[in-house]
Amino acid sequence: MNKFNLFGDIVENDGERWFDSDVTPGLFIGWLAKQEGDIEVNINSNGGSVTGGLAIANAIKAYSKGAVTCNVLGIAASMASVIACAGKKLCMGEGAFLMVHNPWTVTMGNAEDLRKDANTLDKMRDSILGFYQSKIYGKTADDVKAIMDAETWLNPEDARAFGFLVDDYAGEMKAAASLTRRAFAKAPDAAKALVEFHDKKPGDDDSRKERIERKEGEEPSAAKTPEPAENWEARFKGLSAKYNDLQRRAVADLADAEKRCSDALAAKDAELAKFKTQLETSAKDLADANAKVSELSAKLEEGAKALQKATDDLAQTRDSLKAAEDKAKHLEETRDALTAGVLTPPTPTSYADKMKAAKTPEEREALRAQKRAGKIR
């Protein structure tokens, strides 16, 4: 399997390469174009250019001739950690570190210039966040932003505990990069022990390889004694066991998540059914209330009609009573006038009036005789 060693800083072009180990997108993509089948990218880098790193990471994601495994041998810091998460598989060596943080820059200008640069950094952060999330299980974007804000250093155990899908690296691990104090002031002592911290300057007499391979204060050493051969069978079995364990845990976590989702969905369904029942009950109550309102409205209308009729009857009765009172008053006045002699009853002239005025049977019989004789009408 062909391997690419990303053991230096990530820079945008050849003009920015200070050391032979520095990597540009052109250098990596040129190598990638010549590959066939599965490949590995060994990483021990303190990162570098955001755009250069994104170009390399996207090239890895787009590689279609086989699977890409990214091995963190020592440190994958900043943009190097983004590249580490771009492959199909992420492996970390014992004692290795992933460092995640927000992109930063040095800028100058007026307030609008600074706001523009801040917006650009936010967009770069969101691009980086997507690569991290592709290798993280069970965390939200806000969770990942929190560890980026804090500049977080993760060894393999810490990475797995947070949710990174990390396998153990079974090959040989050797530190081959340095870190810059200005950029990574929060590096833990364990990370510092892997590589030398330095502020690199062009034209340093001391070569990078020599600085890496010796501790501070030591003189460059002669050839080192080779380590004994690895027990590859034991390493493979151990890696296989860890992979199987990781797979079992992932399956268990997925089943647990599915159960939680199913329980939550069932609870929501029950709550929805309860709400639907309450809604139906409320609709029935409303229909009953509307029916009662209609019934009361009809009764009120009938009552209004009855009240109007009673009012009309009362007015008619009042008029009749007034007429009776006027007639009684007139009769009373007539009686008083007759009693006082002011008025005398009129003398009857017609047969009918005389018959009414007759007081005895004899008078009435005499009137009949006169009527028969034609003397009275």
Catalytic residue set? 78, 101
Reported as half-sphere exposure (CB side, CA atoms, 13 A), residue 304 has a value of 6
Helix 141-149 to helix 111-133 angle (10° resolution) is 120
User: Which DSSP string corresponds to 7-49?
Assistant: -S-B-SSGGG--STT-B-HHHHHHHHHT--S-EEEEEEE--B-
Pairing of strands 97-100, 152-154: antiparallel
Run of H or E including 73: strand 68-77
Residue 70 bridge partners (DSSP): 41, 90
| Contact of 72 with 50, CB cutoff 8 Å | no
User: Which DSSP string corresponds to 259-324?
Assistant: HHHHHHHHHHHHHHHHHHHHHHHHHHHHHHHHHHHHHHHHHHHHHHHHHHHHHHHHHHHHHHHHHH
Rounded to whole angstroms, the Cα distance separating 353 from 377 reads 10
Longest dimension (CA), the chain: 186
Helix 50-62 to helix 111-133 angle (10° resolution) is 30
SS3 state of residue 102: coil
Rounded to whole angstroms, the Cα distance separating 235 from 224 reads 24
Beta carbons within 10 angstroms of residue 229's beta carbon: 6
